[in-house]
A and B are shown apart, each in its own frame.
Chain A
Amino acid sequence: MKLKKILNIRISERVSFIILLVLLAVLISLPFFTPGQYFLRTATNIGIYAILALSLNITTGYCGQVSMGQAAFMAVGAYTFAILNTMHGVGFFPAAFVGCCVAGVAGFILGMPTLRLSGAYFVIATTGFSEVIKVIALNWKSMTNGALGIKNIGRPIVFGFELTNANGGQYYIMLLSLAAVIWISYAIKTSKFGRALNAIRNDELASNLMGVNTSSQKVLAFVISAMLAGYAGVLYASMTRYIEPNTFTTDMSTIILCIVIFGGMGSIRGMIIGALLLISFPEILRFMATYRFIVYGLILILMMRFRPQGMLGGVGDKPYKLPKGVKRKSYEQGGGVNGVT
């Protein structure tokens, strides 16, 4: 297959380093030659979705548990941040920290009962959780202001300098956060914890027998995922400056899932490329905007049918070093590719 050949090209390290440097330079200098604020806002939006996809990637990609509650954790983080910021005058960074923690706690409460179970229960439980969060946001009027939402959410202020969309500050804070989240994802992936998650995804029973405490590892992965999603919610709230219960819908969760599936479960650069393509395509192809959600659904179906490892899944990963004389099974052998069956 031609497509497979193109996707499986392994670039030499020096070339990829140069490409990375050029890309970094382009990303950093982007606010200086943008065609307009709208462009920069879209770029920030793409970055936030990339963070969300990376957060879901920890549960779905590394650990193999499909979650539809990412938007709900985003809502928890965003609301906590917004309430602290607008009602109690807490600054951006401490409020963002608290927002992350509350989202993490929510993840713990949801993860404890449901992650002992498999697949579909977890999907429904997370969908239900989104519904519960929405109901709370609508009804707890003294805190969340109900259906009216929270207005005038503060922007981050660094040394008395307000970071707005116009001066590119929000773009930079997104870029920094994205870099941090990429680093966290990479650190998890290469750690013992990451290998345990990978084992759980491939065969939960076997990994349990090998001494991995599967439940606690899954819950931990889910909590980290929820915290990162909560942080993305904080960024989103400070970017749009206005949130209401219908901001964080199941549509959003589906888009995030779609990015993860499209980019390739477990791949880090796949998430960024996936977010770039899937979030920018309705902006570029305006006539497609009505059908965008149908396209997202079709992507989920078609990817599962023809390329379950995602567009970039299993491509950038360096193969695990085997002892001398041990032959490697090729990816095509066996059932699912990259353990996704």
Chain B
Amino acid sequence: MPPRTKRGAKLIVQQIVNGISIGFVYAIVAVGYSLIFGVLRIMNMAYASIFTVGAHFILMFITAKWGMVPAVIATMALTGLVSVFFDFAMLAPLRSKPGGTGTTVLITAIGFNYVLQNLCMVIWGSERKSFPNVIDFGTIRIAGFNFDSTQFVITGVSIILLIILSWIIYGTNTGLGMRAVQQNTKAANLMGVNVKRTITFTFFLSGITAVIAAFLVSSYYQLVYPTMGVQLGSKAFASAVLGGIGILHGSVLGGLIVGILECLSVYFFGGGYREAVAFIILLGVLLVKPTGLFGKKANTKV
């Protein structure tokens, strides 16, 4: 353990700030998992690759000199469509079969995850491509601490996105439909909720969320590569499980906890073990409270 000095304390604060900003990115992706789990009760294993596809699309449009905002908007549309296509072409036929939420859906999602990841590799190459940091406005100095403005932008964008998502889910009719489908699909259908459209909308929304996360992550690390989703996806999943999957505020808190602990572990144990922190947390949570911090005790086994 490093000595307790003034400089050490400063470094800890620095790492916590790093942790909060990267934690918000985990939170966004975790919310993406939670959205789909909330409505369909399935884990979208392909989400990590949808995130990667999003990052590659943004890079492609930015390289084509579209400018930042049009690039992100175009990517949102495209990636949302990929996400909807996944549901429409692969999951919907399985849902119509009896008992279509078990192993078959899981393996289909693993397969699609793999196809997307390797399509990225074939189309854009497997090397690490540099991404322009378009949200860097220099260093900001507050109370003797140097903060990267990228981190502020990430935190700000994430908070705005999470507020918008909460508004969609808790403040609009579509969100009411989503919550109705979550509680009881059949009853929701009888009450006039268009279940198919609600599911499609949820997939589109989760695709858009993935794009924003992809944009923030690529700007932060300034790198885009086909396997970038693998670790981030599983860390975000760990966050979602930590907070209680299917619960939005739980996912956000889970993401923050994972992000902060990860950055603190870099301070205490060095960078080598960073990637393992999220999974040790995940295993611990599964051992102690599988429903997560905010999870209610479910009637069925999770």
Query: Which A residues have a C-beta under 8 Å from some C-beta of B?
Result: 64, 66, 68, 110, 112-114, 116-121, 123-125, 127-129, 131-132, 134-136, 138-139, 204, 250, 254, 257, 261, 290-291, 293-294, 296-301, 303-305, 308, 335-336, 340-341
B103 touches A341 (CB 8 A): yes
A294 touches B283 (CB 8 A): no
Partner of A135, one of B111, B114, B272: B272
Tell me which residues across on chain A come within 8 A of B278, comparing CB atoms: 128
Tell me which residues across on chain A come within 8 A of B112, comparing CB atoms: 297, 301
A129 touches B114 (CB 8 A): no
CA distance A289 to B162 in the complex (A): 42
Chain B, 116-156, contact with A by CB distance < 8 Å: what is the 0/1 string?
A: 01110110000000000000000000000000000000000
With A294-B122, A301-B112, A341-B104 as given contacts, are A118 and B302 in contact (CB-CB < 8 Å)?
yes
CA distance A301 to B45 in the complex (A): 13
CA distance A90 to B119 in the complex (A): 44
B234 at the interface (CB under 8 A from A): yes
Q: Chain A's nearest CB lies how many Å from the CB of B227?
A: 9
Q: Which of A128, A134, A290, A303 has the most CB of B within 10 A?
A: A128
A135 touches B107 (CB 8 A): no
B98 touches A335 (CB 8 A): yes
CA distance A117 to B283 in the complex (A): 12
Please report which residues of chain B, range 249-294, place their CB below 8 angstroms from some CB of chain A when the two chains form the complex.
272-273, 275-276, 278-280, 282-283, 286-287, 290
Q: Chain B's nearest CB lies how many Å from the CB of A150?
A: 18
CA distance A180 to B266 in the complex (A): 45
B45 touches A123 (CB 8 A): yes
CA distance A139 to B271 in the complex (A): 10
B237 at the interface (CB under 8 A from A): yes
With A119-B102, A291-B122 as given contacts, are A131 and B231 in contact (CB-CB < 8 Å)?
yes
Tell me which residues across on chain B come within 8 A of A294, comparing CB atoms: 114-115, 118-119, 122
Tell me which residues across on chain B come within 8 A of A119, comparing CB atoms: 43, 102-103, 106
Q: Which 6 A-B pairs have the closest CB atoms?
A: A300-B111, A120-B43, A128-B279, A297-B115, A341-B99, A297-B114
B187 at the interface (CB under 8 A from A): no
**Can you list 18 contacts pairing A with B, beta carbon distance less than 8 Å?**
A113-B287, A121-B286, A124-B43, A124-B238, A125-B282, A128-B238, A131-B276, A132-B279, A293-B114, A294-B114, A294-B118, A294-B122, A300-B110, A301-B112, A301-B115, A303-B107, A336-B99, A341-B103
Q: Which residue of B lies closest to A308 (CB)?
A: B104
A135 touches B275 (CB 8 A): yes
With A300-B108, A305-B90 as given contacts, are A335 and B283 in contact (CB-CB < 8 Å)?
no
CA distance A129 to B283 in the complex (A): 9
CA distance A118 to B282 in the complex (A): 15
B290 touches A116 (CB 8 A): yes
Q: Which of B97, B108, B280 has the most CB of A within 10 A?
A: B108
Tell me which residues across on chain A come within 8 A of B282, comparing CB atoms: 124-125, 128
The A contact surface, by secondary structure, is helix
Partner of B286, one of A68, A114, A303, A305: A114
The B contact surface, by secondary structure, is helix
Tell me which residues across on chain A come within 8 A of B111, comparing CB atoms: 297-301, 304
B188 at the interface (CB under 8 A from A): no
Q: Chain A's nearest CB lies how many Å from the CB of B11?
A: 21
B2 at the interface (CB under 8 A from A): no
Q: Chain B's nearest CB lies how many Å from the CB of A61?
A: 11
Known: A131-B279, A257-B107. 14 other contacts (CB 8 A): A110-B283, A117-B302, A123-B110, A124-B237, A128-B278, A257-B110, A291-B122, A293-B121, A299-B111, A300-B108, A301-B90, A304-B108, A305-B93, A336-B99
Please report which residues of chain B, range 198-242, place their CB below 8 angstroms from some CB of chain A when the two chains form the complex.
230-231, 234, 237-238, 241
With A308-B104, A336-B98 as given contacts, are A131 and B286 in contact (CB-CB < 8 Å)?
no
CA distance A150 to B115 in the complex (A): 32
Tell me which residues across on chain B come within 8 A of A254, comparing CB atoms: 110, 114
A340 touches B115 (CB 8 A): no
Tell me which residues across on chain B come within 8 A of A120, comparing CB atoms: 42-43, 45, 106
B279 touches A129 (CB 8 A): yes
B238 touches A305 (CB 8 A): no
CA distance A310 to B287 in the complex (A): 33
Q: Chain B's nearest CB lies how many Å from the CB of A202?
A: 11
Chain B, 39-63, contact with A by CB distance < 8 Å: what is the 0/1 string?
A: 0001101000000000000000000
CA distance A78 to B86 in the complex (A): 37
Q: Chain B's nearest CB lies how many Å from the CB of A267?
A: 16
Partner of B107, one of A124, A291, A293, A300: A300
B283 touches A114 (CB 8 A): yes
B234 touches A298 (CB 8 A): no
Tell me which residues across on chain A come within 8 A of B100, comparing CB atoms: 341
With A128-B234, A290-B122 as given contacts, are A64 and B276 in contact (CB-CB < 8 Å)?
no
CA distance A247 to B126 in the complex (A): 17
Tell me which residues across on chain B come within 8 A of A113, comparing CB atoms: 283, 286-287
Q: Chain B's nearest CB lies how many Å from the CB of A236?
A: 22
Tell me which residues across on chain B come within 8 A of A64, comparing CB atoms: 103
With A123-B45, A298-B115 as given contacts, are A117 and B290 in contact (CB-CB < 8 Å)?
yes
With A124-B238, A131-B279, A335-B99 as given contacts, are A340 and B119 in contact (CB-CB < 8 Å)?
no
Partner of A121, one of B97, B107, B275, B290: B290
CA distance A127 to B286 in the complex (A): 15
